[in-house]
Amino acid sequence: MITLAGLSQKPILAGGGGAAMFQKSWSIYDALSEKNYMHHREIYARVAEWLGRRGGKGYSILDLGCGSVRFLAPCLKKHPPAMYVGVDLSAAALEEAKEQLEGLFHVALRQEEMVEALERSKTRFEVIFSGYALHHLDVAQKEKFLSLCVERLVPGAALLLVDVVREEGESREAYIARYLDDMRRDWTEVPRHELEEACAHVQAYDFPETESDLGEMGKRAGFAGMKRLARFGPHQLWELPTGKKAG
Ligand SMILES: C[S@@+](CC[C@H](N)C(=O)[O-])C[C@H]1O[C@@H](n2cnc3c(N)ncnc32)[C@H](O)[C@@H]1O
């Protein structure tokens, strides 16, 4: 059974600026990820391995900034959870997510801002997953996101995080200039006007941290540590375990 809550084309809420491109034209992101420019294939292969090892029998999973779930859905089908909750601001992405998740049981999709969703949730999960969404938040929102994740995880559970990061000591300006150069040089199979729209999105809405700053934020939030599971340039995957006494 799949339930879709609060779905509407409502305007973007505070903290949801990073959803702008996804609200308007989900298809550009879909095309970019299909070409694997952000290493979705390799990273999600490791996510599937991790879920196989750590998901456990009948685990519950909360997916924050779930998008269309195009890459996570096959992992979930390989290692089915007892409950999946996906949260995103983009109505277009959630409509596609519904199709991607067909066949799984106890699926709920909510059109909500992810920090607000964490604040409102009363459920605790065995796994919280977030893919390429955290960098859209500012520092204070990231801190809040991480603290609320600790509260919403059962003891011994973990946050599995995919995101982009700046090099140590690199400014946001230098990171953006470097990332846009890479996009314009390497993302050659995207039509020019779509590539420029994606570049404008990165320029306006990407606020990645360095890996060490993210690790420190995680510790302050109450995670026991942050272990890197995969790295493809700025595109990375980490596990943040809660330790024995969560939230
Ligand atoms: C780059 S896409 C990633 C989608 C998918 N998780 C993946 O790994 O391919 C980022 C997603 O986060 C959503 N998003 C960005 N900021 C958000 C926020 N504050 N609350 C909820 N969703 C948000 C966007 O709408 C978009 O679907």
pTM of the full structure: 0.92
Measure Cα distances from 175 to 54, 165, 169, 181, 236 in Å.
33, 9, 10, 10, 15
Q: What CATH number corresponds to the domain at position 223?
A: 3.40.50.150
171: amino acid identity, one letter: S
| Torsion on CA atoms 235, 132, 179, 231, rounded to nearest 10 | 0
In a domain? residue 82: yes
In a domain? residue 102: yes
If one residue of 42, 89, 146, 163 were mutated to test the ligand 1 pocket, choosing by the most ligand atoms within 8 A of its CB, it would be 89
Domain that holds residue 224: 2-170+209-241
16: amino acid identity, one letter: G
Residue 42 CA from chain centroid, whole number: 15
Residue 130 CA: which ligand 1 atom is closest?
6
In a domain? residue 179: no
In a domain? residue 178: no
User: How many A from CA of 88 to the centre of ligand 1?
Assistant: 6
- The residues with which 231 forms a beta bridge, in sequence order, are 236
In a domain? residue 114: yes
Number of separate helices (H) and strands (E) present in the chain: 10, 8
Tens place of pLDDT per residue across the chain (247 aa):
566 664 444 434 444 566 666 666 678 888 899 999 999 999 999 999 999 998 777 899 999 999 999 999 999 999 999 999 999 999 999 999 999 999 999 999 999 999 999 999 999 999 999 999 999 999 999 999 999 999 999 999 999 999 999 999 999 999 999 999 999 999 999 999 999 999 999 999 999 999 999 999 999 999 999 999 999 999 999 999 997 654 4
User: How many A from CA of 109 to the centre of ligand 1?
Assistant: 13
Task: Say if residues 51 and 34 touch (Cβ distance below 8 Å).
Answer: no
In a domain? residue 50: yes
Give, in degrees to the nearest 5, the angle at Cα 118 between 117 and 121: 80
Report the SS3 class of residue 235: strand
The strand pair at 125-131 and 60-64 is best described as parallel
Give the binding-site residues of ligand 1, using a 6 Å CB cut-off. Answer: 15-16, 18-19, 22, 29, 33, 65-67, 71, 87-90, 93, 113-114, 131-133, 136, 162
Residue 16 CA: which ligand 1 atom is closest?
19
d(CA 11, CA 51): 34
If one residue of 136, 206, 238 were mutated to test the ligand 1 pocket, choosing by the most ligand atoms within 8 A of its CB, it would be 136
User: How many A from CA of 87 to the centre of ligand 1?
Assistant: 8
Into how many domains does the chain fold? 1
193: amino acid identity, one letter: H
In a domain? residue 185: no
Strand ranges of the sheet holding 235-241, from the earlier edge strand across to the other edge:
2-5, 107-111, 83-88, 60-64, 125-131, 153-164, 235-241, 227-232
The closest of 29, 42, 35, 43 to 160, measured between CA atoms, is 43
The strand pair at 2-5 and 107-111 is best described as parallel
In a domain? residue 177: no
